Chain A
Amino acid sequence: MVSLFFQRAHAEALKPNSKMILIPAGTYVPFFEKRTTVAIQSFWIDKYPVTKKDFQQFLKKNPMWLKNEIKKIFADPSYLKNWHGDRFSNQEKKDSPVVNVSWFAAKAYCEFYGKSLPTTDQWEYVADDRGKGSKEAQQKILDWYSSPSPKYLSSVGQAANSYQVDDLYGLVWEWTLDFNSSVISDGDKNLFCGGGAQGAADPSDYVRFMRYSFRSSLKANYTIGNLGFRCVQEVSQ
């Protein structure tokens, strides 16, 4: 009993904050890979995408990332569109995901809080949802991809998966740390386009194909109205 209590207390102490979820270690089959499985270590992930209110707090402490201060190389002109200084438009929900943020800004946010952006493998592993991320979810995702973006985004917390991680799809696309690793080619022999699909683990998985092709079209300074992010944190030893 005592040891159980201790274990619980210990786990609580390791938990970075109440809005993060501990993802257990496991394996998954990545898209566009010939190797069969990738081992994923246990890690913490934000339950929700980073919200406008969260990002506002960050901006107050890190003014170099304000719209008027940011170095041009770190973001394109639509960075924090409709924000004025550290204030977002009052028509927007404060708990809706922050969007129009570049990879550099997203990375800086996570690092400021001692976290990092998830790797593509980590993100896909959570989205895979122990293999449940298939059929039914895929249809929902396709419906989402095909519907136009709403003028104002909904608040986070729309739908959780079996890990209790919310909004992996349905609200915004999300940056990953190695978004620029979606090289659809075989070795350095440059097999693009049609050839790329042959390397896919499951060519019928159109949903994942969309995500990978979207990531490969991004550049680190791009800011888009339906692209946000969340952070992860290592499990401390």
Chain B
Amino acid sequence: MKQKMIVIMLTLLLSGVCLAKGETKNNGESVYNISTVWLNQDSQAFPLQKLKGRPVVLAMVYTSCQSACPLIVSDMKNIAKALNTKEKEQVQFALFSFDPEEDVPSQLKQFAKEQALDLTHWSLLTAQPDAVRELAAVLGVQYKKNASGEFSHSNIITILDAEGKIRYQQVGLKQDPKMSAQILSQLLSSEK
């Protein structure tokens, strides 16, 4: 009898442990486990976690970039265009700068204006080099500042679900937005 009790207690205990582990496992995959604070285009503090709760389309760029970055932004706009109006309302778009020195909030705001970005759905963010390095590490983005002040970088658009888990990465420039849009639609319909 005593042995049986021990077995039952152990089973309960272990199932409790498993449950707890399962929970942390899901959140453990979230990009929001890194706790960096950014500044947005209006100079407001913007903790990364602020993006939580809705699917996010994000990329790392810098505003003085001549060739690749405008294409990344245009690819993100194409993803937005591939969504229906209702879906578009529920998706958040974010651009993170590689370049803390040049991309101060006012510069980000200017870039948003030039690119005609709707700031109700887009956030443009800048932070200290450590935070930039950490986000790039989580996203698998390679970058390096050259002597000329230009950045070499990977061209990657990342899609996060509402919890911050990476669901898809669109790699390369001028890609068909179909796959990204499809994944966003799926994310939005599964949340309902």
A residues apposed to B, CB below 8 Å: 33-35, 68-74, 103-104, 177-178, 180-183, 185-190, 216, 219-220
Bound form: Cα–Cα A72–B27 in Å: 8
Closest to B66 in A: A188
Q: Let me know if B83 is at the binding interface, CB within 8 A.
A: no
Chain B contact residues, majority secondary structure: mixed
List residues 125-182 of chain B with CB under 8 A from any CB of chain A.
Answer: 133, 136-138, 140-144, 146-148, 150-155
Q: Let me know if B192 is at the binding interface, CB within 8 A.
A: no
Give chain A nearest CB distance to B147 CB in angstroms: 4
Asked if B144 and A183 sit within 8 Å, CB to CB, the answer is yes
Given contacts A183-B142, A183-B144, A188-B151, contact A73 B137 (CB under 8 A): no
Asked if A177 and B152 sit within 8 Å, CB to CB, the answer is no
Bound form: Cα–Cα A189–B116 in Å: 25
Bound form: Cα–Cα A104–B25 in Å: 17
Interface size class, chain B: 20 to 34
Closest to A184 in B: B152
Q: Let me know if B24 is at the binding interface, CB within 8 A.
A: yes
Bound form: Cα–Cα A11–B90 in Å: 59
Asked if B24 and A177 sit within 8 Å, CB to CB, the answer is no
Q: Let me know if B187 is at the binding interface, CB within 8 A.
A: no
Across-interface contacts of A180 in B (CB, < 8 A): 133, 136-137, 140-143
Within the complex, which residue of A34, A69, A182, A190 is in contact with B144, where a contact is CB–CB below 8 Å? Answer: A182
Across-interface contacts of B141 in A (CB, < 8 A): 180
